Structure 1
Amino acid sequence: MFHSCWFWLSFLIFSTHGQTDPCPDLSHHKLNDTWRSTAVIAGSVYQNDVLLTEGWYRSVSGAGGTIPLTAPNSGTCGTKNPVWMNDTLPNTGETKNASMCAVVFFSKCFPTWSTVQVKNCGSFYVYYLTTPPGDYGYCFGTETKCPVGEISETGFTPGCINVDDVVFSVSITTGLEERRGPIKGIPNSDVINLEIKFEHNIKFTDDNVNPELFLYDVNWYININLLTNCSHSLIPYANLSTTHLSETCWRDTYRMNFLVKCEVRLRGFNGRILSVFRTSDFFEAGFKTDQTSYTVAESSSIDIKITLTVPLGCVYNVSLTIEKRYGFAETHCRTVIAVQTPGTDDCSTGGVSNEAVTFGDTNCGVSISHNDWNTTKSLTVYGASDNTVTTESRSSYIRLKFPGVIPHHLAWNNVLKQDILIVVDDADMNVLNNLCYSSNDPHMRTFDGKLWENQRLKEFLLYYNEPRLYWVHAMYQSCSRWSSATCNCGVAIRNNQALFVANFCDEKIGWRISQTRSNRYVEKSFCDDTHMIINKNGNSYTIILPTGTQISFSHYYSNNNRTFISSISIKPVSS
């Protein structure tokens, strides 16, 4: 009889309640009770809705937002007699009267109500609920809270994962960020600054982990120093991009060629720590070489590969169009990585040098612009010959440096690279016996050891290095008035336009002619030692070309009042 009276009262009420739209947020009540889930077993004390005020309700619990459409088990939904909907849900925008049932001891569908109104608001449903008698409670949802130590996107099943099983890694990439405002040091300027930034990449080992389940703590380090002014705590995943390391965090304290490290820790939405800090590898910010030491043979070369690991950056006038930025950067946002010998501000660009290494015609450096910063550059280093046969290698250090700055971008100012070791293997031992010579009679020997005779007069080419434009010529005359043998009487050595001549030949050369006056002069047509070095010891000469090739000869005065060169020898190098 009691249930029958409640049935007719409910019907009367549902037929007469107001027609106001219940979907707007302030037009319905919120239920956030996790005990209403069909997955929750009632305890020793039953929950119920005896104090529920009649009206429109929406469930916002993570357990679910709808009254179940099938009968739950008795004693579930945290109550003695769970109430469920024995009907279907309305379409979007529709309102319908839905049949309701209660699970009681003797029935899965005890008809305590005839209908409950339900409206489909698009992304959720609202229900017009009335107050039931004691020991009855409305069910909502089918999920339950994740166990302690597990999390999910909603905090409820499904998808709960153990936080101890959440493994992730952190890596670092670099790029540029655009900032409009003044140039540092020029407060009234208004330009577009392209500044260096470092970004972290967080990758979960399990691709099924939703990164939005966590809050994040992010710390940045340069070398081993924590940048406290650029640390972040309790950051939602959607805002992680704001935690990159900006140039303003370090520019006033550090210069490029430092090490950057990032560490990340996970938290729950209640702030509880869910993981240890996981740390990236150190990122070498600046420029690097493919090796830290190199070996080169005398008079050979190796290429040092130089790569920037971060962009140069640039500063543009706000009026400069995107199309014109490339050309502007090519001219104005450019720098040179220069090479130096430690302890000096210069380098040897070639020629015969006392240094272990030289740098040819590379202008002692490589040029890099904002547009091609990520293109690897090559610096060619030559092993200089010491012109001495030794069994030990020589070594030298070179230093790479930004000698100046990119205009208004101080991050690159006077950046240094750790000194690079260059080991120069001695090559003279390999050519000790590989001599080309012309000794009087004359007896000839080629570099490959072949012997032959030359009994012809006047001038002949002994040695020619085509890439370097080196020449060695020899002059021959008869050894005596009645002799059919020839002897060396002159030598000429040329490096491009630089010329050395030693001439002791008769003014007139021929067979069986009367003796004429002899030349006796040694001359050169250059002013310094960059083209060749001339070493004189009495009547002996050694001329050293920039590659290390040596030409040696000595002259003597014969008993027939003539001057001859006893032998001309050439000791080459590999190039």
Structure 2
Amino acid sequence: MLKEGWYRIYSDNGGDMPTTQLPGTKYCGTMNPIWLNGTLPKFVDGNMTIEACIQTNQSVCEESIYIVTRNCDGYNVYYLRPTPANSSYCFGSGPVHCIASMSSETEYYPGCSSNFPTNSISVEVEALLTEGEIFPIPNVDPTPSLIPIFKCVFEDQSNETYFYDVYWLICGNVIKNNNNLLFKNITDAIVLKEMDWHDKYKMNMEVKCAIRMRNSNESTPGPYVYSPVFKAGLYPDKYYYTITEGESFNITFTSTVPVGCISSHPDLRSQCEQNFYIFRPYNQEPTCINNMIKRDIVFKAESCGIRLGNLDWMEKRTLQVYGYNDGLYNVNNRYAYIKLSASSVSIPNNIWKDVYIQQIRVLIVYNYVKVFPSNVTLVNSSS
């Protein structure tokens, strides 16, 4: 029972009673919420008595009670009295989240319940190859192609009696979901294919999946259980480097997603690959010529880039970079930018089309020692 007295309300949804947007019955944690039929006071108004209405199924203001409120220059306080049975004061606006031990379809009231599975469960995203379309290849027995996909991996917690909701998220946005599925019917729901997202996202993206468990079909689902973030793409170990003219360093790249193949035939898989080429970020054209970018940096690489194979895609790739020594006195340090692009892809590797790999910045520091011998003294002409 509420004790009569002055109250200041702290809530994620706000600290004031609604005055225009009526809450509706069965909201605000009660059958009949109480709203404010008036205007909230200004600071100069002092204490103000305002009509509060009890909303029921029959009327938006079936019964009135009067409360006192005061503006304290930035927030309001309310003098509240005990309410009739099945009614409570409503504060804030928007939906109210279920408490930690409860859940609902929306995660908000109404409908919050504790009648859902509470099993502990682990959820993970994996990238793997699955069989796809068969392409005719001369002199080779027909076998399915191999296509990269993402899979939401978890174990059934109920001996196939629970129902599951499965959600896929890319960069925090839900892009696919299926609800109320028995574990035996979940095969398609736990797979994310390139066609599900390629119009909206590019590789080097963050992928997650989530599940909710239900005791029976259409019953209250439990809270979302999320997988860790899966960074899907090709990633360098760092994005910023400093190098002195004439010296070198290595950039190590790691792929978290397989490379597809037009055939699963053993003789062909070793020939399937995806190439990533170096280009200048600002003109969007390949600018690595003879393994060099604009006389700033030189690469020791295959055809100005790196290659991932169908059989060895999980192995790290190294791009060796040299600071080009032009033999000139450079007043300022120089910057070079490295960006990789999949300029062409095969049908099984359409997942890599338009991959977005963040550019790598290289600072080339002038090498005084190699330009000026040790017996030469530099004189500052301004002194």
- Normalised by the length of structure 2, the TM-score is 0.57
State the shift of 1:371 in Å: 1.6
From 246, 250, 275, give the equivalent of 2:222. 275
Alpha-carbon shift at residue 393 of structure 1 (Å): 3.9
Q: Which residue of 2 aligns with 1:220?
A: 168
Alignment partner, residue 301 of structure 1: 248
Which residue matches 1:346? Answer: 287
Match of 2:296 in 1: 356
- Structure 2: state its 5+ residue gaps: 1-100, 103-113, 137-141, 377-383
The residue type equivalent to 2:337 in the other structure is: Y
Q: 1:219 and 1:386 mapped to 2: Cα distance?
A: 55
Q: 1:434 to 1:363 in 2, by over 3 A?
A: farther
Q: Pick closer, same or farther for the CA change 1:366–1:407 going to 2, 3 Å.
A: same
Corresponding residue for 2:49?
A: none
Q: CA deviation at 1:400?
A: 0.6
1:170 aligns with 2:123: yes
User: Given the alignment, which residue of 151, 166, 182 partners 1:236?
Assistant: 182
1:400 to 340, 349, 362: 340
Shift of 1:195: 1.5
* CA displacement at 1:218 relative to structure 2: 0.6
Richer in helix (by share) = 1
Q: How does 1:44-443 map to 2 (within 5 A)?
A: 166-180=119-133, 192-202=144-154, 210=158, 212=160, 214-228=162-176, 231-243=177-189, 244-251=191-198, 254-316=201-263, 325-331=265-271, 333-342=272-281, 343=283, 344-349=285-290, 355-360=295-300, 362-388=302-328, 393-406=333-346, 409-428=349-368, 432-434=372-374
Counterpart CA distance in 2 for 1:193 and 1:251 is 19
SS in 2 for 1:227: strand
CA distance in 1, matches of 2:219, 2:115: 14
1:418 maps to amino acid? Q
CA distance in 2 between partners of 1:347 and 1:390 (Å): 22
| CA deviation string 1:206-232 (max 9, x = no partner) | xxx65745321111123344224xx21
Counterpart-to-counterpart distance in 1, 2:273 and 2:334: 35
Query: Which amino acid in structure 1 is aligned with residue 350 of structure 2?
Result: L
Letter in 2 for 1:281: P
Q: Using the alignment, how far apart are the partners of 1:415 and 1:239 within structure 2?
A: 33
More strand by share: 1
Name the aligned partner's letter for residue 171 of structure 2: N
**2:276 and 2:306 in contact (8 A); partners too:** yes
Which whole-Å CA distance do the structure 2 matches of 1:365 and 1:256 have between them?
A: 18
SS in structure 2 at match of 1:242: coil
Which residue identity is paired with 1:419? Q
The higher-RCO structure (CA 8 Å, 6+ apart) is 2
User: Cα offset for 1:172?
Assistant: 0.7
For the 8 Å contact 1:362–1:380, the answer to whether it is kept is no
CA contact (8 A) 2:327 2:371 kept: no
How far apart in 1 are the matches of 2:229 and 2:212? 17
Q: Which one has a bigger Cα radius of gyration? A: 1
In 1, Cα distance between equivalents of 2:269 and 2:300: 28
Aligned residues, how many? Answer: 257
Letter of the 1:199 partner, please give it. Answer: K
Are residues 179 and 350 of structure 1, via their aligned partners in 2, closer, same or farther at CA, if it must alter by over 3 Å?
closer
1:417-446 deviation line (CA, Å, top 9, x unaligned) = 11111122333258745359xxxxxxxxxx
Residue identity (%): 26
In structure 2, give the amino acid aligned to 1:285: A
Task: Check conservation: 1:334, 1:406, Cα contact below 8 A.
Answer: no
Q: 1:422-481 deviations in whole A, cap 9, x for unaligned? A: 122333258745359xxxxxxxxxxxxxxxxxxxxxxxxxxxxxxxxxxxxxxxxxxxxx
TM-score (norm. length: structure 1): 0.40
Compute the displacement of 1:388 (Å): 4.6
Instruction: Supply the RMSD in Å over aligned alpha carbons.
Output: 3.4
Q: Tell me, what secondary structure is at the counterpart of 2:188?
A: helix
| Cα distance, 1:435–1:367 mapped onto 2, change above 3 Å | farther
3-state SS of the aligned residue for 2:144?
strand
Q: Taking structure 1 as reference, are residues 399 and 435 closer, same or farther at Cα in structure 2, changes over 3 Å only?
A: farther
Residue 165 and residue 407 in structure 1: after superposition, are their counterparts in 2 closer, same or farther (change >3 A)? closer
Offset, 1:266:
1.6
C-alpha spacing 1:412/1:274, structure 2 compared with 1 (3 Å): closer
* Structure 1 residue 385 displacement after superposition: 2.4
